[in-house]
Structure formats: structure tokens, C-alpha cells
């Protein structure tokens, strides 16, 4: 069994180099197995997600759904943390954007002729989050097909009075789809204001994804206040292909776009927090969480119902096996990740004001898919300390620690609190088929994949609680 021998040898090699690296014992393996057993047999993650998706549903900041979700979160955390737990709300102000009606768009040739045979006339679209609307009359204008920002700059004199259609494609050559998203998402986030700068009246942007369906994916834009705020919408992939095909070669076509989106005044919402007090260091915190808000086209099952129920499950599983944490373990269901990030910033600033010491902020916001890795914002020395933990996690799917950071909700904990931040990195292949679209429903979550994410999160939280990072 050379393979096993090799693993042993690698471990030995680490021991020689890093001394205290392998503090864990056979007991850890047994305890983690018990966490896995309760999560895989008596787990509440999937059941909780069923309620959140089917009874609460969409829950954008400021919507009735969000306040319903807060109540759900309080109940679920109270149930998970038991009599030893404490559950409370942390108020924060959040933006309140509404879609305001049905988004509509179609295109036709500028000379009034019908589109060529086989080209669909109507476009499946979703107004981008935080965007302004067109008003009930809509806007009609000639479309300019733009492939990337370089082309926008070259053709800036052609933009005035037009609708810019960014057709930048998700790059399939990135194996991790989050890299393709990071590459493409600037067209959604920044594209509207960059087009407005040159006089565009509206923007269409190709959906961030490379799925086989035509579902448009919404998501937040970021207006630059120096330029006019113009309406903007995402177009489904097949319709984006059809529109691009109709426009290739410089042919003229016009698009009619109507969205009733608008921003209302900021309103009050809450982070929902549940905690179990630490037995040795009650004033030192380990935070684990996901975000409670979701986009409006569906149920926010993967984004980020999954992260919420996994985080709650960590608390439940630790309680269920009777583990007494040394540090206070806190689950946070963050408000307003999607179109403001206010909940994450509030949590970190409030903790700073209270003078709290935080060891770790761990987030799950990449979907409840089979876990593969954790990203951790660790120094080289700390990474060496935790590397041997992988032998404890690998049986449950995580085989790698990636040097990096946390997701957007825990990230503020690093500058504000000096905490280590990190996130679960599950398999990324399906996430952007669902993300921010009407396909983000419970039926596209696999129960076991969701549970295995929770198993690895619980195991990591346990290991950090027991051993720290060797600071």
C-alpha cells in the first residue's frame, strides 16, 4: 500500500519541519466521526433549508420575505443551540431595492422589419439589482454590441443615445468557475456607469454563467455617481447569443426595454445571531455564517440558504454530541450580502466596538455542493500548523487548504478585528448555472452534498476551538 505509506511519510516530513504541527490525536478523528454521524443521519440542514426555501422563499433586503426569514432564523437557531444557547438580532440599516414589476425586452430591426427567422424577438431579462428603471413607457434605442471594455473605449463616440449590450462571455477555461465570474462580473457591476459616461441610455449585459438554459441571472450593479444612472438588465445566455448573432456584422437593430426597478429609502433589518458560550474563553469568539438575504427570482437555495443552514447545523451538531466548546461559537445569518454588504460590516464594527477578540470568521457562500477545500487567511507558519488537519478532513471531502481569505460577509472581520477569515470552497461547477436566477431552488440542492459541507465546517470549527492557529 504505497499510497498509504506515502501519506504517512508526508505527515512525518511535516512533523520534522514544523514541530507542533500534528497536535491532533485519534480522539479528534473519533469526535469528527461523531459530528459526521449526527449530520448525516439526524441532520437538520436539509429540513431547515426546505422550510427556508418553500415557506419563506425569496428574501431580498427590505422585502417582506426578509423579515419572515429573520423569524425563521431565530427559530432555527433557538432549536439548534438548545437551552445553553443565546439567540438575538443585531440591527443594521439596509438598502431597499424593488423590482417593481415584470421586466420586459424585445428587439427588432431598426427599419421595422421583423427579426430573421430563428431569431427570437423577445429577450428573457432581469433588471440588475440596485438599478433604476425605465418607467412605464420603457426605452427604445439602437443597440451597440460591445464585447469588452477595450471595445467600448474604441467606440465611445458611437454610444450616445444607444443601448449598450455587453456580450462578454464566461471563460470556460477557468477550471474554478469563481475565477470566470470574477473575470466577467465587472461588466455587470461597472458596465452600466461606464456606458452612461458615453451617453448610453440603458445597458444589457450577458448573464454571468455558461449554463445550457436561458435563465437570466440578476445581481448588483455599482453606479458611479459621476455619471447618470441608467437602467440595466441581464439577458439569458441563449437570448444573448441570438441578439449577438443578429448584431454581428454591424447590422442595426433596436431594443425595447422596460423595467420598473427603483430604490426606496434605506430601512432597518437584522443579522440573526445564535451562540453557545465557551467554557474556557467565553470572551473569545469563533464565528461561522452565511447570508440570510437572497435575490428575488427564486428561493435563494444555494445562494445562500445553504450557507445559513450549514452554519446552524454546525451549532446543532456540536450540541448534539455534547461537545463543550472552549471558545464562544457564534452563528451569524448576515443581512444584505447581495446588494450592500451592510450586515457583514455591521457585525465586524459592532464586535470591534465591544472590544471582542475573534479567532476565526468562517463563511459558506459558494453553495452547498460537495466540499473540496477551505480558503484561509493564514500566515505561512499558521498554514503549516493546520496542514496536518487535512488527514482528518479528507475522509469527508476536503483535501486542501487554499491560502486566501473569506467571503464578503466575514472579510471585514480581518481589518476590524484581526480575525482569521476563511470560507468553504465546495465544488464550483454548478454554482453559476443557478446563481441569482430562477433556478436557485431547493430541487437543485443535493441533501448529502449540503450535509458534507456542514460536516467539514463543524470539523474545522472544532479543530480551531481545540488547537487554535498556533499564534
Minimum gap (Å) between residue 120 Cβ and its own copies: 20
In angstroms, how far apart are the furthest CA atoms of the chain?
77
> From residue 125, how far is each of 103, 218, 344, 361 by CA, in Å?
7, 8, 29, 36
Please name the residue that has the C-alpha cell 439602437: 142
Q: Which is nearer to its own copies, 10 or 93 (CB)?
A: 10
Minimum gap (Å) between residue 461 Cβ and its own copies: 19
Q: Which is nearer to its own copies, 55 or 403 (CB)?
A: 403
Q: Which is nearer to its own copies, 89 or 402 (CB)?
A: 402
**What does the angle CA 159 – CA 165 – CA 167 come to, to the nearest 5 degrees?**
130
Please name the residue that has the C-alpha cell 422563499: 57
Q: Which is nearer to its own copies, 198 or 396 (CB)?
A: 396
Q: Which is nearer to its own copies, 411 or 456 (CB)?
A: 456
Minimum gap (Å) between residue 353 Cβ and its own copies: 34
Minimum gap (Å) between residue 367 Cβ and its own copies: 13
Minimum gap (Å) between residue 393 Cβ and its own copies: 11
Exposure b/e, 101-121, CB count within 10 A at least 16 = b? eebbbbbbeeeeeebeeebbe
Minimum gap (Å) between residue 172 Cβ and its own copies: 4
Minimum gap (Å) between residue 236 Cβ and its own copies: 16
* Helical packing angle, 306-320 and 64-81, nearest 10°: 20
Q: Which is nearer to its own copies, 209 or 274 (CB)?
A: 209
Q: Which is nearer to its own copies, 154 or 403 (CB)?
A: 403
d(CA 291, CA 225): 27
What grid cell was written down for 272? 440573526
CA dihedral 119, 122, 126, 127 (to 10 degrees): 110
Q: What is the DSSP letter of 57?
A: -
Minimum gap (Å) between residue 6 Cβ and its own copies: 7
- Select from 309, 284, 304 the least CA-distant residue to 294: 304
d(CA 309, CA 451): 9
Is 128 within 8 Å of 234 (Cβ atoms)? Answer: yes
Q: Which is nearer to its own copies, 87 or 442 (CB)?
A: 442
- Select from 333, 326, 403, 398 the least CA-distant residue to 365: 333
d(CA 391, CA 275): 28
Q: Given the rule CB under 8 A, which residues bind its own copies?
A: 1-3, 5-6, 9-10, 13-14, 17, 36-37, 40-41, 46, 172-173, 175, 177, 210-212, 370, 380-381, 383-384, 387, 395-397, 399-403, 427, 429-430, 433, 446-449, 452
List phi, psi (to 5°) of 353.
-60, -40
Amino acid at each position: 500500500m504505497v499510497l498509504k505509506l506515502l501519506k504517512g511519510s508526508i505527515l512525518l516530513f511535516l512533523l520534522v519541519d514544523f514541530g507542533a504541527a500534528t497536535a491532533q490525536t485519534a480522539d479528534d478523528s473519533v469526535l469528527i466521526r461523531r459530528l459526521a454521524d449526527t449530520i448525516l443521519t439526524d441532520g437538520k440542514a436539509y429540513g431547515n433549508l426546505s422550510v427556508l426555501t418553500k415557506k419563506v422563499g425569496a428574501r431580498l433586503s427590505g422585502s417582506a420575505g426578509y423579515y419572515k426569514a429573520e423569524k425563521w432564523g431565530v427559530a432555527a437557531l433557538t432549536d439548534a443551540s438548545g437551552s445553553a444557547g443565546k439567540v438575538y438580532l443585531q440591527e443594521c440599516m439596509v438598502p431597499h431595492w424593488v423590482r417593481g414589476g415584470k421586466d420586459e425586452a424585445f428587439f427588432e430591426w431598426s427599419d421595422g422589419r421583423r427579426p430573421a427567422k430563428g431569431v427570437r424577438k423577445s429577450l428573457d431579462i432581469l433588471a440588475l439589482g440596485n438599478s433604476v428603471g425605465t418607467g412605464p413607457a420603457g426605452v427604445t434605442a439602437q443597440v451597440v454590441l460591445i464585447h469588452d471594455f477595450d471595445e467600448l473605449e474604441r467606440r465611445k463616440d458611437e454610444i450616445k443615445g444607444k443601448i449598450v449590450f455587453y456580450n462578454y462571455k464566461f471563460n470556460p477555461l477557468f477550471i474554478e468557475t469563481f475565477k470566470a465570474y470574477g473575470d466577467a462580473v465587472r461588466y455587470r457591476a461597472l458596465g452600466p456607469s461606464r456606458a452612461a459616461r458615453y451617453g448610453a441610455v440603458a445597458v444589457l449585459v450577458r448573464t454571468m454563467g455558461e449554463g445550457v438554459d436561458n435563465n437570466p441571472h440578476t445581481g448588483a450593479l455599482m453606479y458611479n455617481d459621476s455619471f447618470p444612472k441608467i437602467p440595466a438588465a441581464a439577458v439569458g445566455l441563449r437570448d444573448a447569443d441570438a441578439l449577438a448573432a443578429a448584431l454581428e456584422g454591424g447590422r442595426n437593430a433596436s431594443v425595447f426595454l422596460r423595467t420598473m426597478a427603483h430604490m426606496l429609502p434605506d430601512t432597518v433589518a437584522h443579522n440573526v445571531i445564535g451562540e453557545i458560550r465557551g467554557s474556557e474563553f467565553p470572551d473569545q469568539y469563533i464565528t461561522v455564517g452565511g447570508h440570510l438575504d437572497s435575490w428575488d427570482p427564486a428561493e435563494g437555495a444555494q445562494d445562500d440558504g445553504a450557507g445559513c443552514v450549514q452554519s446552524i447545523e454546525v451549532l446543532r451538531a456540536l450540541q448534539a454530541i455534547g461537545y463543550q466548546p472552549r471558545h464562544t461559537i457564534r452563528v451569524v445569518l448576515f443581512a444584505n450580502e447581495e446588494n450592500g454588504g451592510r450586515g457583514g460590516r455591521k457585525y465586524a464594527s459592532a464586535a470591534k466596538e465591544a472590544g471582542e477578540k475573534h479567532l476565526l470568521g468562517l463563511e459558506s457562500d459558494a453553495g452547498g455542493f460537495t466540499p473540496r477545500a477551505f480558503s484561509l487567511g493564514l500566515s505561512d507558519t499558521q498554514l503549516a500548523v493546520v496542514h496536518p488537519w487535512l488527514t482528518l478532513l479528507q475522509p469527508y471531502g476536503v483535501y486542501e487548504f487554499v491560502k486566501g481569505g473569506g467571503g464578503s460577509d466575514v472579510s471585514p472581520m480581518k481589518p476590524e478585528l484581526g480575525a482569521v477569515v476563511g470560507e468553504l470552497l465546495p465544488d464550483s461547477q454548478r454554482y453559476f448555472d443557478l446563481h441569482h436566477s430562477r433556478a436557485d431552488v431547493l430541487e437543485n440542492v443535493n441533501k448529502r452534498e449540503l450535509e458534507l459541507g456542514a460536516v467539514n465546517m463543524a470539523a474545522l470549527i472544532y479543530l480551531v476551538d481545540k488547537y487554535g492557529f498556533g499564534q
